[in-house]
Structure 1
Amino acid sequence: MIEEIFMTQQTALIVGASRGLGLALAEEWLGRGWHVVATMRGDAPGLDDLHARFSDRLEIEHVDIRDASSVRDLGARLQGRRLDVLFVNAGIARSNDKTPVDAAEQDFVDMMLTNALSPVRTVEMLASLVRENGVIAIMTSELGSIADSTGFWPLYSSSKAALNMLMKGYAAHHPGDPRALLLVAPGWVRTEMGGDEATLSIEESIPHVVDMVEANRGKPGLRYLDRFNRELPW
């Protein structure tokens, strides 16, 4: 039954959907009638509530994006299915106001692993599941732009710049990839990670993000875009 759904219904795999922006992405696509596979690492009450509402179209998988074998196992479980969208949403923010001289080294190491290496590694492992006219997207940030940097949250910004660079490398190594490859900057959104001072609500960001992703289907190439489908400076 599930295999038949994947063949006939538009399907998104959202890696990192337990809360915040990832959970909002899952809810938005479900609200548009899509089938969604959403991953979580630990307990996710919000995702459980979403499953109660959309049990016929929401699958939940347990994955730790920082563990390559966990992602590889997910790929094996989904083998033979076809996705219209793969959206990797993973991010942590630590030592936000610190500089290299006073930040905890482990905070920076953890951000580089979670925010930069793991998302692109996940794309490499799961890209074969995405249809040729589909979209491979990773959640990045406007703070990943070196050209526009103001020095805000410098260590977090560095991890997102590294993510953008690693995705540039992925695109360079797959020059004939027919899928859209998107680095998505959703704006500064009020979530547990974004904090109360963020300028946007989830409702002011995520519906636009989903519109933008859908608008890029069938348009190959790597692009660094904001929620309104505008290109950002690298």
Structure 2
Amino acid sequence: MTDRTALVVGASRSLGLALAGELAERGFDVVATVRGETPEALAALADRTGRVTVEHLDITDTGQIDALRERLGDRRIDLLFVNAGITDADVPAAQVPTEVFVEVMVTNALSPMRVVEGLAPLVPPTGTIGVMSSRQGSIGFNTRGGHEVYRASKSALNQLMRSYAARTAGDPRTLLLLHPGWVQTELGGPGARLTVAESAHGVAEVLVGHAHDGGLQFLDHTGAVVPW
């Protein structure tokens, strides 16, 4: 299949940047968003592939979401993937300042859903809407604690996507929540099992391989089901 377009929200570095590269290599024209200035690595990817264009978006700003929707016009987005997110200090929830709690929840749960709602009209019935979640958002898997507010934000994101799927029941588009694995990122640390490239490859495989499943699934980078 040719002439496919992917929109990767949050592609300035790490997993988002690597995923934009993976999708470009698979023949997608990629729209990659960044919050600030375009990083050199993303600019280099755009030059090298000829398939990547850069847009600017702060997902916590609803005006910017609306503006991006206007700039995209009637462009068909076969794959919308929201990767943007933040973490916080690994301390018990009661010790987290209120403003930090709000920032993490707004950035990781509310804002991705605003992006989904705002840009979904560009995704055709055969398209896919994906959001980067985490195994840490799984209530069933939480036997060790840690990163409590980050975990809660991903659990909230999962619940909001479940609500979105229920509210749009009958919509043939595929909805995916993805766990990227334990990755050598700021959150995962240098001792994590997966490199960024390995994780991005797996995430791309799942996004492409499950493109026409329909419904909502919570999967990891290997395609395995993650318990809610």
TM range (shorter): over 0.9
How many positions carry a matched residue from both structures? 226
Report Cα offsets for 1:21-71 as digits up to 9, x if no partner. 1101101111122210000011222211212212x3111001110001101
Q: Work out the CA distance in 2 between the residues paired with 1:61 and 1:208.
A: 25
In structure 2, the residue matched to 1:213 is 207
Q: Work out the CA distance in 2 between the residues paired with 1:13 and 1:120.
A: 15
**In the alignment, structure 1 residue 86 sits paired with structure 2 residue 80:** yes
Which of the numbers 123, 126, 142 marks the counterpart of 2:116? 123
Moved >3 Å (runs of 4+): none
Q: Work out the CA distance in 1 between the residues paired with 2:186 and 2:10.
A: 14
RMSD of aligned alpha carbons: 1.4
In structure 2, the residue matched to 1:142 is 135
* 1:88/1:119 contact within 8 Å kept: yes
- Tell me how far 1:104 sits from its aligned partner: 2.2
* 2:105/2:153 contact within 8 Å kept: yes
Unaligned runs of 5+ residues in structure 1 are: 1-7
- Tell me how far 1:153 sits from its aligned partner: 1.1
- TM-score scaled by length of structure 1: 0.92
**In the alignment, structure 1 residue 102 sits paired with structure 2 residue 95:** yes
- Tell me how far 1:201 sits from its aligned partner: 0.6
* 1:133/1:219 contact within 8 Å kept: no
Unaligned runs of 5+ residues in structure 2 are: none
- TM-score scaled by length of structure 2: 0.95
Q: Work out the CA distance in 1 between the residues paired with 2:46 and 2:211.
A: 26
Q: Work out the CA distance in 1 between the residues paired with 2:163 and 2:227.
A: 17
**In the alignment, structure 1 residue 32 sits paired with structure 2 residue 23:** no
- Tell me how far 1:77 sits from its aligned partner: 1.1
* 2:128/2:173 contact within 8 Å kept: yes
In structure 1, the residue matched to 2:68 is 74
Q: Look up the equivalent residue of 2:156 and give its one-letter code.
A: A
**Alignment identity in percent?**
48
Q: Helix, strand or coil: the match of 2:41?
A: helix
* 2:92/2:146 contact within 8 Å kept: no
Which of the numbers 28, 41, 45 marks the counterpart of 2:40? 45
- Tell me how far 1:199 sits from its aligned partner: 2.4
Q: Look up the equivalent residue of 1:51 and give its one-letter code.
A: A
- Tell me how far 1:209 sits from its aligned partner: 0.9
